[in-house]
Chain A
Amino acid sequence: MFLGLFETLRRHDVPVTLRELLDLHAGVERGVAFADSEAFYRLARLTLVKDERHYDRFDRAFAAWFEGIENLDAAIDALIPDDWLRREFERSLSAEEKARIESLGGLEQLIETFKQRYAEQRERHAGGNKWIGTGGTSPFGAYGYNPEGMRIGQDGSRQRRAVKVWDERRFRDYDDSRELGTRNIKLALRRLRHFARSGAGEEFDIDATIDATARDAGLLNVRMRPERHNAVKVLLLLDVGGSMDDHVHTCEELFSACRSEFKHLEHLYFHNCIYEGLWRDNRRRDERLSTFELLRTFGDDYKLIIVGDAAMSPYEISHPGGSVEHFNDEPGGVWLQRLATKFDHLAWLNPMPPRTWELTHSNRLIRQLIGERMYPLTLQGLEAATRALVQ
């Protein structure tokens, strides 16, 4: 009876049903896995999980169940467990360095420093393409703070002996509350499709006609079908520069997915907050489009998607002249308000994780202005946003 495992999995949001649990029992009964915890882990994963996005959650739940950890929340929240760091660390150190660490007050101290560094590093990566310069030797990987990218001792981590398989958490990257790939984004954006049968254009359906004619014993039976195309109109406003440099990669992916998915897509850029003008091309900022013109030209049937981290000085929203780049006659908040009034279908996608939203004053202000329609730029967030946009 693996009811404990079953319940733990459900508590960890792994979608499992009774049918899968029965499968697991059948597997154990038929002796597919016997008296071997690793084989059991594999069998359980095979039968209970149906998507690699849930592998990581399954691993965590399994570890919790296996070790009988009572406090589940702590296990979930410990995103970088100490011993994980220690393992990565010890592996990458030479004997000489180990001796030096001892003299520096031991590993405990060092891990603290490391964590501090790690926290600072999130900020410092704002500089942008730093990672290119280091050519992969930077301990902090490609996109800033993905712990997967923190592989310090590459060779060490490839020999899996010391660690239990489920503790390795090799599938962390596939969790859908984490990063997005173009493919996933496209899938999420599909929800925004709005197929319309517009105009008189009906098209000739050759296959159905041949089929129907043959069934009618040769009497011509012409079949027509209505033409379908995606008629949704999307206006995309992207925050560029400054703190958004961290998220260039994600935004790039979102943008390329949008471009291939929507026929009526307009995109414009802004910096930090929206004021009286927007750019069509980020490199040629002189060619500006006045925001008034935008409000006039784009009908309210457009769906407005704003992508930005909403992290700025609150003065940018509340005061005239608050912009960091130019003197603005009217505060950013007024402009946001105008956009929100005009476009009923509006969503703000924020690449920062939701738990940080409360920390910035500007974020709270913006959410007040647009009416809590801010979503995280993850797969789940995007799905929620598209659902809200089609309502």
Chain B
Amino acid sequence: MAFQGTDTYVASDALRLAVDAAVTLERPLLIKGEPGTGKTLLAEELAGALGSRLITWHVKSTTKAQQGLYEYDAVSRLRDSQLGIEGVDDVSNYIRPGKLWEAFDADERAVLLIDEIDKADIEFPNDLLQELDRMEFYVYETDHTVRARHRPIIVITSNNEKELPDAFLRRCFFHYIDFPDHETLQRIVAVHFPDIESRLVAQALDVFFDIRDVPGIRKKPSTSELVDWLKLLMADELAREALYARDPAEALPPLAGALVKNEQDTGLLERLAFMVRRQQTTRR
């Protein structure tokens, strides 16, 4: 079985091989890359392509590793005991399984996405080492071990906000999604908008790469921003006309808000355009 990308997701050769290797050798796959290059989307598309269930564990700064395994709801149990509700003597009624447990317990192989692992505390990945390695963990309250019935395919994404510990990295395969080149971007656009005018794509990609290449720009627009922008352009005929008739002396491309997302970058582009205009007037 080889992952080939899907109707809505274009995967590079390297990414396809990475997914293949991770599936074949049953290792977690750690994905990094610029924001908006489709890290999270990969897990969704992979689950779709394999026809397996996707279990998503969104990690936040307050997330603890234990929450992925299970939580013991002592407060509910206390309340229930005071109300005299039945079943309160059985502790397993108050064990709430987490996402990892859910993935281990699935009837068939599931895809588990641990999204943005770098958001959590620095110790978070270390607390998951055994669980990811042996695919089992121990529940103290009920004194039994949860073992994976089918080893899930684990995709982990990171935005590089924190360094991940070596011991954790050594257990994963690592792939960095490089920013797509011109050709790949064209394919990505084609996948999202099958009947878009080729003239629009060519123009838009030129503008897009020009903006990415502006020296000193703080947040480079990425694939997802390009897709959003094209969506807007297709909906707005006036803006489309403005793009075709574009004068380099004009500061910002039409509907630039979808591409450039902070005021320093907007300011930078305006300053550049001003200099172009000044050059033009002096030449005349």
Contact = CB atoms under 8 A, between A and B. Distances in A.
Given A19-B170, A38-B13, A158-B181, A30 B24 contact: yes
A3 interface: no
B259 to A, nearest CB: 16
A47 interface: yes
Contacts, number: 100
Nearest to B176: A52
Contact of B21 (A46, A149, A183, A249): A46
A23 B181 contact: no
Contact of A51 (B14, B21, B161, B169): B169
Interface string B202-236: 00000000100111100000000000000000000
Interface in B160-214: 160-163, 166, 169-170, 172-176, 178, 181-183, 210, 213-214
Contacts of A149: 215
A39 interface: yes
A134 to B, nearest CB: 9
Contact of A49 (B20, B21, B174, B271): B174
Contacts of B162: 187
B27 A187 contact: no
Contacts of B176: 52, 55, 171, 174
B21 A32 contact: yes
Contact of A143 (B25, B170, B215): B215
B174 A50 contact: yes
Contacts of A210: 75
A51 B30 CA distance: 10
A81 interface: no
A214 B162 CA distance: 34
A45 B18 CA distance: 9
B174 A51 contact: yes
Interface residues of A, number: 49
How big is the B interface, by class?
35 or more
A294 interface: no
Contacts of A106: none
B20 A32 contact: yes
Contact of B25 (A30, A51, A171): A30
A264 interface: no
B32 interface: yes
Contact of A42 (B18, B75, B169, B181): B18
Interface stretch (B41-49, B77-85, B142-150, B237-245): B77-85
A210 B178 CA distance: 46
B181 A160 contact: yes
Given A30-B24, A46-B18, A249-B216, 10 more contacts: A23-B173, A32-B17, A38-B13, A42-B14, A50-B166, A133-B275, A187-B162, A211-B75, A214-B75, A218-B82
Interface of B: 13-14, 17-18, 20-21, 24-25, 27, 30, 32, 74-75, 77-78, 81-82, 160-163, 166, 169-170, 172-176, 178, 181-183, 210, 213-216, 271-272, 275-276
Q: Which 7 A-B pairs have the closest CB atoms?
A: A142-B215, A214-B74, A50-B169, A52-B176, A214-B78, A32-B21, A214-B75
